[in-house]
């Protein structure tokens, strides 16, 4: 049996790995709030297009993959004889983990399926990508499923997701901060340092500094 890693598109895994089917991706839905159009992340809208449009003023919002989307991918891999190892974006910032769990429960109810293993990574974006890449290397070395699961837990426990929001305009457009907060932080050149809380998986501000140099 092959262990196949499945991720949501919020993981930012290298596209070559997906194109070569080294891993499988379940896309988030990206919604163009200006036009009311929905896209399948990665498949219908590239990151280059998304960033370009955001700079030009397009406001995007995202929606978690549906349980049915996960169900279809899980079932396809199981029918190939593979074991699924799903790395989901932090449950504190997305319902992706819950959708994957619902899909797994449906498979279990239908076929008493136990070849799906889902992990709440307590991470997002590049952090999940790093876990996936390291885990794939470990799988390729021929380790057992139990060892792979233990290594996945180790990687998750040792992941620390930290970043700096250099421009708060996108947090403002997405409704994360008020207009007043955006103006004040811009005038004073305040750079908030953000992280994903290891306990609850939620995004939080843990520090701030004036100027880019002091943040780093």
Partnered with residue 204 across adjacent β-strands are 195
CA 22 → CA 7, 62, 77, 140, distances in Å?
A: 11, 25, 12, 11
Instruction: For residue 164, give the nearest of 211, 201, 121 by alpha carbon.
Output: 211
Domains along the chain?
3-28+64-157 (3.40.50.10440), 162-215 (no CATH)
- Measured CA to CA, the distance from residue 76 to residue 90 in angstroms comes to 24
Structure tokens at 171: 């947090």
Inter-residue contact 80 to 97 (CB < 8 Å): no
pLDDT values of the chain reduced to their tens digit, one per residue, 216 residues: 799 999 998 888 877 777 778 899 999 999 988 888 898 888 888 878 888 888 888 888 888 999 999 999 999 999 999 999 999 999 988 899 999 999 999 999 888 778 999 999 999 888 999 999 999 999 999 999 999 999 999 999 998 887 776 666 666 666 656 655 655 555 556 677 778 888 888 877 777 666 666 655
Looking at residue 181, its pLDDT comes to 60
Instruction: For residue 166, give the nearest of 127, 202, 216 by alpha carbon.
Output: 216
Instruction: For residue 132, give the nearest of 75, 91, 199, 85 by alpha carbon.
Output: 85
**pTM for the structure as a whole:** 0.84
Looking at residue 201, its pLDDT comes to 85
Looking at residue 209, its pLDDT comes to 62
Instruction: For residue 43, give the nearest of 58, 22, 65, 61 by alpha carbon.
Output: 65
């Amino acid at each position: 049996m092959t262990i196949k890693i499945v991720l949501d598109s919020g993981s930012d895994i290298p596209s070559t790995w997906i194109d070569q089917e080294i891993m499988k991706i379940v896309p988030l839905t990206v919604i163009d709030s200006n036009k009311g159009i929905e896209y399948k992340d990665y498949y219908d809208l590239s990151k280059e297009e998304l960033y370009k449009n955001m700079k030009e003023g397009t406001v995007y919002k995202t929606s978690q993959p549906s349980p049915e989307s996960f169900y279809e991918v899980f079932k396809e891999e199981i029918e190939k004889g593979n074991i699924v190892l799903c790395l989901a974006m932090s449950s504190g910032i997305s319902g992706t983990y819950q959708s994957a769990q619902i899909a797994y429960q449906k498979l279990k109810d239908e076929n008493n399926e136990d070849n799906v293993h889902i992990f709440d990574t307590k991470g997002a974006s590049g952090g999940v990508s790093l876990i996936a890449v390291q885990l794939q290397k470990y799988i390729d070395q021929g380790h057992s499923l139990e060892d792979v699961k233990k290594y996945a837990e180790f990687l998750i426990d040792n992941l620390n997701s930290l970043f700096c929001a250099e421009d708060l305009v996108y947090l403002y457009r997405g409704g994360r901060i008020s207009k007043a907060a955006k103006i004040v932080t811009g005038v004073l050149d305040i750079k908030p340092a953000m992280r994903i809380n290891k306990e609850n998986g939620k995004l939080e501000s843990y520090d701030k500094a004036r100027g880019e140099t002091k943040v780093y």
